[in-house]
């Protein structure tokens, strides 16, 4: 793996194939799973539109892992 995960969540998305995090909008959303948007290269919440802010390098690694 080229990218070194810097947080527990980065570690999680890069070690578990197909893993998508929950929405990060906390109490303002009923927290469905996000989906990976290959155009934005981030995770997006289908319910409230929340977009994750993972580092670009991290998401490139994720896309590579899950293609
Ligand atoms: Zn949401």
- Per domain, the residue ranges of the chain are 8-65
Distance 52 CA to ligand 1 centre (A): 10
Cβ distance 20 to 43 under 8 Å?
yes
How many whole angstroms from 1 Cα to the centroid of ligand 1?
30
> Which residue shows structure tokens 């793996």?
1
Residues measured by CB to lie within 5 Å of ligand 1, the ion: 23, 25, 29, 45, 47-48, 50
**Whole-structure pTM value:** 0.91
33 in helix, strand or coil?
Answer: strand
Distance 23 CA to ligand 1 centre (A): 5
**Residue 6, SS3?**
coil
Q: What is the pLDDT of residues 6-63, one digit of tens each?
A: 999 999 999 999 999 999 998 889 888 999 999 999 999 999 999 999 999 999 999 9
């Amino acid at each position: 793996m080229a990218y070194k995960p810097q947080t527990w969540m980065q570690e999680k998305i890069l070690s578990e194939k197909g893993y998508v995090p929950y929405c990060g909008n906390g109490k303002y959303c009923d927290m469905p799973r996000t989906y990976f948007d290959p155009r934005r290269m981030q995770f997006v919440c289908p319910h409230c539109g929340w977009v994750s802010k993972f580092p670009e390098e991290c998401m490139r690694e994720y896309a590579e892992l899950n293609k």
